[in-house]
Structure 1
Amino acid sequence: MGLLIYGANGYTGRIMVEDAHTFGLKPVLGGRSKEAIKELADKKGLDYVIFDLNNAAETEKALQNINVVIHCAGPFRFTARQMMEACLKTNTHYLDITGEINVFELGASLNQRAIERGILLMPGVGFDVVPTDCLASFLKHQLPSATSLKLAFAGLGGGMSKGTTLTMVEGMGEGSKVRENGKIVSVPLGFKSMELQHNGKNLFFMTIPWGDVSTAYYTTGIPNIETYTTVSRKRYSKLGWMNAFSWLLKLDFIKEFARKKVKQGPAGPTDEARQNSRTYIWGEVSDAEGKKVQAYYTTPNGYTVTSLTALLIAKKVLEGNFKTGFHTPAGLYTEYLIDEVADVTPFTIIS
């Protein structure tokens, strides 16, 4: 039956369902909520399947005739392993839209099993991490001797979906991650900051645990990696307090309160807000001799990019354009994968 979008009734899943026809795809829609999935499938004239990832037999049965899954039901720390295991048992190619470091590392740990089963495991086929992964690959080719990589992104307008925010809630109190000498290590959230200029405006950035801490290493081999996003200086000034009380933020009753608040809010940015926003992607590589190369480019809103890159990669896999095992987006499809997405500006070297 081709392609399954699991979690199709979520904010990003719905965008993907809307965009699928532009790729000539008629996906099967999947999820836990029969009412929501059936309504969406009937509206689009698509097949659907209902199953809970915590029921392994049910999941494997649902995947029997599926070639490729785009897994959209996060937070992926709770759902990725179940779907990956089912894909390994049913010889189904696995794609997801995570940005969670531990999920990428899980995928990497299953590389040999995926090769033996003849399937592709590619977490992070959305905004997490296609745009940054492509820029990392591009920069590595500009400076092959690079030993350090910094990547940053700034959403210029728009907002976050419930799914993205809930993933952040689950990570509260866990601090951040960087890669040092090839190893992923824990550091305080926002332990470094920097300022960049874009279109005449100063943008303030802090370090966060973005997926490239994992994936950019597999794509480029660069052993030292930091990832950044924009934040207000006011919020950054409060991080010392947050880091000091990180133990409190880990408590489940605190997280449950935050979860309830998130679920009461809007599903995500409106279509108008999404269409009118852009994303700035920046990167820098440097080597042991002090040589540096910086580059940037811009893309549409992150949720728009997620839908388009996930469907683009799914179509490639369905057409037989893949390698077995664990792979990163740019590692398999090169840095020019992002050029296949509409309204993306070229990479621009700035130093």
Structure 2
Amino acid sequence: MLDHSFLLYGANGYTGELIARYAAGFGLRPILAGRNKQALEQLGDELKLPVRVFALDNKAAMQQALQEVSVVVNAAGPYDFTARQLVEACIAERRHYLDLNGDAIIYDMIRTYDDAAKDSGIMLLPGAGYDVVPTDCLALWLKQQMPDARSLKIAFAVLNSSLSRGTAINTVLKLGLPGLSRIDGKLVEEPVGKRGMYVRFPGMKKKIFTMSLPWGDLSTAYVSTGIPNIETYINIHKAAWLLLKGQGAYNWLLKTKLVRGIANRIVRSQSPGPDKATRDKTNTLIWAQVSNAKGATLTANMVVPEAYTLTAMAALLITQKVLNNEYKAGYQTPASAYGAALIMEIEGVKREIVAE
């Protein structure tokens, strides 16, 4: 077992390939894994990296692959279909588990394995990428400065970029499903876009409209900060948000196999994700605000590299730490494991308190 080696499952996907290409810069050597033999071997030949081909329902092959490493990074979404299998395998084989998931429901599912992970002496840390490293660290940073905070709002804007094919496919699978918010410590279903607000993101002259959307922080920020009321928002054209207000009338249609099939075919016909030129010239903007029972508020802004670039860098940074035996056993969020300063270890990140 090499102390700079880890298993990268889903390495042939858009984000998995980015991680594989960035790994050498972190002194790491991933073993490329997944189901697509041709794509994996092509990438492995190019990067001079070993390849392991197996599906997650092949428990013998998965167990054999896990014997070679101490850390698994799951980059194979949708995580509804991959997280549980790999988490259980990692617990059984005493291997640390990281993933790039951004779904609050999946986070809460993985959290149920906390005791089992502690018994095995391993760490389970989903959300080791853009979902949710920067926002999780920002939430804890604000909580540290307002210990009595009772509410948290987080908004983000990804401008001049696009979704990866994998993220878009996951979005298709969620068409017509309800959104979420955290109210008094509990996840509560609500319509996607139930709330809208204008936000002044860092560096922007004008405020940008955002709408409520379920994001992983509804789970992770609650674990990291204990704040019982959490809302998450994303930038969107206000006209599109107004259209969503009538979603009750057509949500049934969005959930049909016909509509999802059409959307899926459209997604698969598009490019895998933003190219390097787009990633290099794009930043992701984050705004967050906490408030207490007295009505006092504290607001912060953060600028980070483009979302997919940040995902690769954050996942490799955390993998590097785990391989250096810097980890906490059990279920962890990025901030609970490594503190609010973790995100500041990534080049190009800026954060500040905003004057009210």
In 1, Cα distance between equivalents of 2:64 and 2:108: 27
How many aligned residue pairs are there? 351
In 2, Cα distance between equivalents of 1:132 and 1:284: 11
In 1, Cα distance between equivalents of 2:257 and 2:80: 16
1:38-57 map, 5 Å: 38-57=41-60
Deviations 1:169-221 (A, max 9, x none): 11111121000000001000000010012320221000001000011000000
In 2, Cα distance between equivalents of 1:119 and 1:234: 47
1:222-237 map, 5 Å: 222-237=227-242
Which position in structure 2 is the counterpart of 1:256?
261
In 2, Cα distance between equivalents of 1:264 and 1:10: 15
Secondary structure in 2 aligned to 1:335? coil
Secondary structure in 1 aligned to 2:319? helix
Shift of 1:147: 0.5
Match of 1:277 among 271, 278, 282: 282
Which position in structure 1 is the counterpart of 2:89?
86
> Could you tell me the TM-score, scaled by structure 1's length?
0.98
Question: Match of 2:338, as an amino acid?
Answer: Y
Secondary structure in 2 aligned to 1:66? coil
Tell me if the contact between 2:98 and 2:125 (Cα under 8 Å) persists in the aligned partners.
yes
In 1, Cα distance between equivalents of 2:292 and 2:175: 33
In 2, Cα distance between equivalents of 1:197 and 1:116: 45
Shift of 1:233: 1.0
Match of 1:193 among 192, 196, 199: 196
In 2, Cα distance between equivalents of 1:16 and 1:290: 42
Tell me if the contact between 2:287 and 2:300 (Cα under 8 Å) persists in the aligned partners.
yes
Shift of 1:106: 1.2
Secondary structure in 1 aligned to 2:200? strand
1:1-351 map, 5 Å: 1=1, 2-198=5-201, 199-351=204-356
Question: Match of 1:253, as an amino acid?
Answer: L
Tell me if the contact between 1:135 and 1:347 (Cα under 8 Å) persists in the aligned partners.
no
In 2, Cα distance between equivalents of 1:350 and 1:171: 37
Shift of 1:241: 2.7
Question: Match of 2:253, as an amino acid?
Answer: L
Deviations 1:101-150 (A, max 9, x none): 11100111000000011110000000000010011001101110000000
In 2, Cα distance between equivalents of 1:86 and 1:157: 39
Deviates more, 1:203-212 or 1:61-70: 61-70
What is the alpha-carbon root mean square deviation over aligned residues? 1.0
Shift of 1:253: 2.8
Secondary structure in 1 aligned to 2:351? coil
Percent of residue pairs bearing the same amino acid type = 42
In 2, Cα distance between equivalents of 1:222 and 1:346: 21
Tell me if the contact between 2:181 and 2:232 (Cα under 8 Å) persists in the aligned partners.
yes
Question: Match of 2:255, as an amino acid?
Answer: K
Tell me if the contact between 1:189 and 1:243 (Cα under 8 Å) persists in the aligned partners.
no
Question: Match of 1:167, as an amino acid?
Answer: N
In 2, Cα distance between equivalents of 1:290 and 1:202: 22
Secondary structure in 1 aligned to 2:310? helix
Deviations 1:252-285 (A, max 9, x none): 2321221111111110011101111111111000
Tell me if the contact between 2:130 and 2:307 (Cα under 8 Å) persists in the aligned partners.
yes
Shift of 1:342: 0.7
Tell me if the contact between 1:297 and 1:344 (Cα under 8 Å) persists in the aligned partners.
yes
Tell me if the contact between 2:300 and 2:351 (Cα under 8 Å) persists in the aligned partners.
no
In 1, Cα distance between equivalents of 2:219 and 2:249: 26
In 2, Cα distance between equivalents of 1:157 and 1:49: 36
Gaps of 5+ in 1: none
> Could you tell me the TM-score, scaled by structure 2's length?
0.97
Question: Match of 2:314, as an amino acid?
Answer: T
In 2, Cα distance between equivalents of 1:170 and 1:66: 32
Tell me if the contact between 2:160 and 2:278 (Cα under 8 Å) persists in the aligned partners.
yes
In 1, Cα distance between equivalents of 2:158 and 2:341: 22
In 2, Cα distance between equivalents of 1:324 and 1:60: 21
In 1, Cα distance between equivalents of 2:7 and 2:258: 35
